[in-house]
Amino acid sequence: MKKQLTLAPIRTAPGPWGEEDIRRMPTRGFQKMLGIVLDEVTKERITAHINIEDHHINSAGAVHGGVLISLADSLGAMGALQNLGPMHVTSTLESKTNFVRPCVSESISGECQPLHVGRRTSVWYTVVRNERGLICAHIWQTQIHSDPNS
């Protein structure tokens, strides 16, 4: 028998999300499993951290690259959601990561800022650091903003 998924969208109405909407995002689903803890939430800057546990580790004993990218992907979406036009929703169109240091750390932090906020797209840049503040990964992503009714 098929498993019935129970997670509905947090919000389906178009238009910009407020801080309260954003802060509900890590309370469930994949963001909760990742253990994302939101720190700062503004339209121009979103920061968060994750306390690393065994279930974040890769086969080399470091934090799995997918954890770093997933953190960034989540923060970039939060950035775009806060900057939508009144009739728009957003989804991630593409993302790019450069890993510059193996991430062996008891916690990681992500800092996300916009490189571009346009009407139809926005571009977000997230730096992920280890507990010593050294950069482990640079992640850039493009969000498309579109009117679901057009």
The residues binding a copy of itself (CB under 8 A) are: 2-3, 5-12, 24-25, 28-34, 51-61, 64-67, 69-71, 73-74, 77, 91-100, 102, 106, 115-116, 118, 120-121, 123, 135, 138, 140, 142, 144, 146, 150
- Shortest CB 80 distance to a copy of itself, Å: 12
- Shortest CB 21 distance to a copy of itself, Å: 9
Q: Measured between alpha carbons, how far is 99 from 29 in angstroms, rounded to an integer?
A: 26
Residue 69 near residue 50 (C-beta atoms within 8 A): no
Q: Measured between alpha carbons, how far is 54 from 63 in angstroms, rounded to an integer?
A: 9
Token output for 78: 């939060």
Residue type, position 129, single letter: R
- Shortest CB 109 distance to a copy of itself, Å: 17
